[in-house]
Amino acid sequence: MSLLKVSGTKIVDEDNNEVILRGAGLGGWMNMENFISGYPGCEYQIREALTETIGQEKADLFFDKFLEYFFTEQDAAFFVSLGLNCIRIAFNYRHFEDDMNPRVLKTSGFKHLDRVIDLCAQHNIYTILDLHAVPGGQNTDWHSDHGTHLANFWNHKDFQDRTIWLWEELAAHYKGNKWIAGYNPVNEPTDPKHTRVVAFYDRVYNAIRAIDPDHAIFFDGNTFASDFSHFGDAHKNWENTAYSIHDYSLFGFPAAPEAYAGNTEQLRRLRRSYEKKREWMDRRGLCVWNGEWGPVYARKQYDGEKTDEINEVRYKVLKDQLDIYNKDRLSWSIWLYKDIGFQGMVYIDPETPYMKLFGSFLAKKHRVAIDAWGADDSAVKGVYEPLVAHVLEEVPTKYQGLYPFPVWKVGDRVKRLARSILLAEYLVQEWADHFIGKDAAEIDDIAKSFRFDNCLKREGLNKILTENAKAVQ
């Protein structure tokens, strides 16, 4: 065990030996997400709805047991058995602070976070602490848990001040813990002005360093960790710092621009997308970390006989990305470790109480493409395309590039707002109503569906990850 630090383009241990971090994100746990955990909308919405529906005591029981079962000693043992050595833990500020009681630390937030950090340490797994949701929302998407498409974190200084305060508390709590590889202060910022994110990074860097001078810091690029072009010489103010890209490829998703075969042109596009994200760092000799990447996978209950064929193509995308990363000796954290069957290395068995309870509801969610991540909207194109066409007709071309364009084009924006925000909020109560009449034992069994021994393994994915974890030592 050794404290890690950033030295030039590399992550090294206390003896200056290079350490390549290969692992996964623990998403959907202390920052729940709709496509990972199987609900509509945002986490705060389902927490409020479940509390109103079955009462505080039973709602607290479900969510606490969910956190307990989602990652246990069995998960850590399995993870390290694959040859992986780092888990990026996504967490939500709401575990540590209430909006109506700001800057008052909820020490209960450390209950499960400490437990999992310690479990990982016992199995020689480093952890990176990823603040995935901050007050006001740092990006335009559901996973910053603010219920809108406006990243108001950048518009209100108090939201930023509260996040600085939280990182001071976290730094004080975790200072000296050598199994923590570092801090990832803000996940996937989307600052339309591109300058406030850099100013905030200056502030949070100085706040952390005043308390914890030793842990590495991992800064995401702007616009979903893809763009460092406005960072200028900011890196000169930051030591022991790496820079995080999120290298998703459209070839690994249902909306792929064309069938992926790994031909010369497609491989060129894969590499060019990756190189563009890290260009700023490469020009300055800085350390790059790929904090998120990876395809999504077909499921037999939705994709039928085509499932295996689709997934073989997705594995091909995965392998081709890893070939690129291996040549650069890149540290990475694939998204993600566990879910209900869309992207995880392990996923909940369809025969568990949770999946049986929500089976028809999840099928409806899939059919109406309510989750933005990897949506297959083939069943509802006819509903939304006229609306998209209407917007395109009425809005002159020169006004159509609203940030985060071109990541969000007009069609993406319209469908996200109409489906993933508007329609989703109408389905929140329907999700909560599934718990009506359940006693404490039944609620515990529902939460227990997420426990490792109630999960299946995505063997094809895990085999590829293991082979590549060992490929670069």
Which residues belong to the active site? 188, 292
Q: Contact 136/99 with Cβ under 8 angstroms? A: no
Name beta bridge partners: 242.
218
Q: How far is CA 376 from CA 224, 256, 296, 339, in A?
A: 21, 11, 11, 18
Sorted by sequence, the CB contacts under 8 Å of residue 313 that are 6+ apart come out as 259, 260
Q: How far apart are CA 118 and CA 69, in angstroms?
A: 15
Q: How far apart are CA 98 and CA 135, in angstroms?
A: 10
Q: Contact 359/366 with Cβ under 8 angstroms? A: no
- Backbone φ and ψ of 246, nearest 5°: -120, 110
Q: How far apart are CA 458 and CA 466, in angstroms?
A: 12
The secondary element (H helix, E strand) that includes residue 127 is strand 126-133
Q: How far apart are CA 432 and CA 443, in angstroms?
A: 12
Q: How far apart are CA 289 and CA 395, in angstroms?
A: 39
Tokens of 158: 């108090």
Identity at 351, one-letter amino acid code: E
Strands lying side by side in the sheet with 338-339: 338-339, 346-348, 455-457
Beta-carbon count within 10 A of 379 CB: 11
Q: Contact 71/449 with Cβ under 8 angstroms? A: no
Name beta bridge partners: 347.
339, 456
Q: How far apart are CA 359 and CA 66, in angstroms?
A: 18
Name beta bridge partners: 241.
217
Task: List, in sequence order, every beta strand (DSSP E) within 177-235.
Answer: 180-184, 216-220
